[in-house]
Amino acid sequence: MGEPWVGHRAATAAAAAAAAGAVRQALLPACCLWSCASCAQIPEDPVLYPATSSSLPPHPTHSLLSLLLQTMGPLVFLLMLLKSLTQYPQPVAEGLDEETRLRMEVREKHLEWERLQLEQEVEQHSQKQVQLLQLLAVAVLLVYIVVLGFIGWQSFLRREEDEEENRGANEEEAGNVAANEEDNVGNEAVNEAEIAANNAVAIAVQEEDDFDDRVGRVIMQRIQWPVQDLQRGCQWTMNLMDNYSLYFCHVLSNSFYPVLQRAIGVGSAFEGWSPREQDVVYRMLIPMTPPRGHSFHLELDSAGQRHVRNFRVRVQLECTCTREQQAENMLCFLHHPEEELRRNQGLSLLHTLCTGSYLDVQKTARWFYQLVRAIWPALPQSHNWHLVLLPSTRSCQFKVTNGRESFRIEMLFGVRRDDSAVFVSSQTREAHTANTIWPESYAVAEVEFFKHIARQAPPDSLHLKCLQFFTRLPLGFGFSTYTMKTIVMHLLNVMPVSLWRRRDLLERLQDIIDSLRLCVQAKRLNHFIVGNQRLPQDIHLPADVQTGGTYNLLLRLAQEPDAHAQAIHEYQVLKKWYKRILLAED
């Protein structure tokens, strides 16, 4: 009985093992049917897989199974086994739960592994970020250290500089203290030295001014001034002409000759200088206005469009019929017969002082001679002075003497242009001038300019001395007295009058001689009045004179090469005389 049971139990164990394998194959995946490194080893259940030899007492069903196996065939055994499993599902169910639990544990292990992998990746990423942050922190720290080091170095340098300045300040303060002590000791000496230095500078400046003044004084002594007192001579001449004017008005009041106005002093004497030393000429310009029934019309001479503008004075008769009742003895020259006019009234100006319809200069000059000679005995000056008429064709010249002194007077006459300082006068600068030609004269405007300068100049101004100086020089054709006067007027118009004192005399003379040299080189010297828009406003000029083009006083030098060469030679001679006079080598 014993051996069959053993065999039956072995067969039963084999069948159970086969059933367990089938169940495992059905519940677990193929990869888990065999033991692997990734799956945990599941211990076999001792209940399902009993050992072949055991000391435990046999189960109550064992005897039943043995009997069935002996009596029934294998098929019956399988049916019974299935029924047994159905009736006792607990062991199988427990196996299935164990498998599920194992799967869950495996899943948990897998998830745990993935979690560990993720944590490891996160940790590695965090480590990289930490490393970057550490590198950044190290870089910032290094920059901070460098900045702190630079600031510290700057602070060190500033401290060094401050200490150096403090040491220098202390030394300077110590030096100042010592200097102050020395200054306090020698303050009076320093003040005396400063005063002495200032005095020395003032003395040097004064000596320089004194030297220039002495030079100017020496030069003035070499300038030959007119013997006659110009101011007194001008005053005496004006008194004489005022007396003449009174008689002119009385004698000519009812005539048809030009009406003579108060005389105007012109020329060098009334400007304050004179080219002559002994016999000074006092020129007087007497303005003329038309008489009753006449009018003057100035016509520019078309044939004289040269550097001097010439005019003709056309005399025109005016109708006086409307005024016959107001003037009993006035007959109209236009509407009365000539015989009646000649018998009852007298001839018009056209029949006395005109050539044709134009005023004649020479006839007018002869008429002035007659007036001067006729009126002289009635003047108070005739009791003590003697009148001597001098020949002239375009003016009235005479001399009055009293045995001790004499005055030479030239009476010019002219017609004023509008209400300006420009006249057309009998004076001419050209020879062989026609009798009906009246050159444009700027003598009154030039006198007004010198009066304007005299009002602004200091009392010791020597601008007239400079002009007088060059009258001693041997002036040739190219350098007339009027040429030198024009140069001086240009300089006076552009230079302050304060620069014409005695200490500036040498410099001003040099300016004049240098200006002459430049004019000779350029072959040009502009007229001072014509076209000069920088004249003082109190000098009234016609619009065509002030705004028109100027003309060249040295035009001949530009037109004739021989004249220019001669002018250069004359300038060299003039310069030698200039130096000889300054150096007193006469």
- Using the predicted structure, report yes or no on whether residue 281 has a pLDDT greater than 50: yes
DSSP state of 10: H
Q: What is the pLDDT of residue 277?
A: 66
Nearest to 299 by CA among 318, 285, 315: 315
Q: What is the pLDDT of residue 341?
A: 72
Q: What is the pLDDT of residue 181?
A: 57
Q: In 33-128, which ranges are E strands?
A: none
Residue 165, domain member (yes or no): no
Residue 160, domain member (yes or no): no
Length of the chain: 586
By three-state DSSP, how is residue 423 classified? strand
Residue 101, domain member (yes or no): no
- Angle of the 89-222 helix axis to the 561-582 helix axis, nearest 10: 80
Residue 575, domain member (yes or no): yes
Q: What is the mean pLDDT of the chain?
A: 77
Contact indicator for 361, 426 with CB cutoff of 8 Å: yes
Task: Tell me whether strands 396-401 and 406-416 are parallel, antiparallel or unpaired.
Answer: antiparallel
Say how many C-beta atoms besides its own lie within 10 A of residue 44's C-beta: 11
Provide the pLDDT confidence category of residue 460 given band limits of 50, 70 and 90. confident
Domain co-membership, 449 together with 574: yes
* pLDDT tens readout for residues 123-167: 777 777 777 777 887 888 788 788 777 787 777 777 777 666 666
Domain co-membership, 373 together with 388: yes
Say how many C-beta atoms besides its own lie within 10 A of residue 16's C-beta: 15
* pLDDT tens readout for residues 379-393: 999 999 999 999 999
Domain co-membership, 435 together with 446: no
Domain of 530: which CATH number? Answer: 1.10.1410
Tell me the average pLDDT across 215-226. Answer: 66
Residue 188, domain member (yes or no): no
522: domain range? 442-586
Domain co-membership, 498 together with 363: no
- Last residue of some domain: 379, 410, 441? 441
Domain co-membership, 488 together with 436: no
Provide the pLDDT confidence category of residue 53 given band limits of 50, 70 and 90. very low
Share of the chain above pLDDT 70, in %: 67
Within 8 A by CB and 6+ apart from 115, the residues are: none
Q: How far apart are CA 139 and CA 142, in angstroms?
A: 5
Tell me the average pLDDT across 313-342. Answer: 76
Q: What is the pLDDT of residue 327?
A: 53
Poorest-pLDDT segment among 24-38, 232-246, 252-266: 24-38
Q: How far apart are CA 35 and CA 43, in angstroms?
A: 11
Domain co-membership, 256 together with 347: yes
Residue 71, domain member (yes or no): yes
Provide the pLDDT confidence category of residue 520 given band limits of 50, 70 and 90. very high
Tell me the average pLDDT across 306-313. Answer: 83
Nearest to 215 by CA among 512, 513, 514, 509: 509
Q: What is the pLDDT of residue 24?
A: 43
131: number of CA atoms within 13 Å, CB side? 6
Tell me the average pLDDT across 278-292. Answer: 92
Domain of 417: which CATH number? Answer: 3.30.460.90
Domain co-membership, 557 together with 586: yes
Written as one letter, the residue type at 181 is E
* pLDDT tens readout for residues 423-444: 999 988 777 789 999 999 999 9
DSSP 276-343: -SSS-EEEEEEEEE--TTEEEEEEE-GGG-SSS-EEEEEEEE---GGGTTTSTT---TTTS-HHHHHH
- Last residue of some domain: 53, 87, 121? 87
- Last residue of some domain: 425, 441, 457? 441
Q: How far apart are CA 223 and CA 506, in angstroms?
A: 12
* pLDDT tens readout for residues 88-126: 444 444 444 566 767 777 777 777 777 787 777 777 777
Domain co-membership, 436 together with 551: no
Residue 305, domain member (yes or no): yes
pLDDT, greater one: 71 or 461: 461
- Using the predicted structure, report yes or no on whether residue 236 has a pLDDT greater than 60: yes
Q: What is the pLDDT of residue 151?
A: 81
Phi-psi region of 278 (alpha: psi -120 to 50; beta: other; left: phi over 0): alpha
Contact indicator for 400, 412 with CB cutoff of 8 Å: no
Domain co-membership, 375 together with 484: no
Domain co-membership, 260 together with 363: yes
What's phi and psi for 196, nearest 5 deg? -65, -40
- Using the predicted structure, report yes or no on whether residue 355 has a pLDDT greater than 90: yes
Nearest to 409 by CA among 395, 397, 424, 421: 397
Domain co-membership, 362 together with 431: yes
Share of the chain above pLDDT 90, in %: 41
Q: How far apart are CA 210 and CA 196, in angstroms?
A: 20
Poorest-pLDDT segment among 302-306, 416-420, 499-503: 302-306
Tell me the average pLDDT across 258-271. Answer: 96
Domain co-membership, 498 together with 425: no
- Using the predicted structure, report yes or no on whether residue 251 has a pLDDT greater than 50: yes
Say how many C-beta atoms besides its own lie within 10 A of residue 424's C-beta: 24
Residue 50, domain member (yes or no): yes
Written as one letter, the residue type at 564 is H
Alpha-carbon distances of 25 from 20, 31, 476, rounded to whole Å: 8, 10, 156
Alpha-carbon distances of 361 from 273, 293, 417, rounded to whole Å: 28, 21, 17
By three-state DSSP, how is residue 28 classified? coil
Q: How far apart are CA 54 and CA 61, in angstroms?
A: 16
Give the chain's domain count: 3
Contact indicator for 439, 309 with CB cutoff of 8 Å: yes
Poorest-pLDDT segment among 64-78, 152-166, 455-469, 484-498: 64-78
- Using the predicted structure, report yes or no on whether residue 239 has a pLDDT greater than 90: yes
- Using the predicted structure, report yes or no on whether residue 7 has a pLDDT greater than 50: no
Tell me the average pLDDT across 315-324. Answer: 80
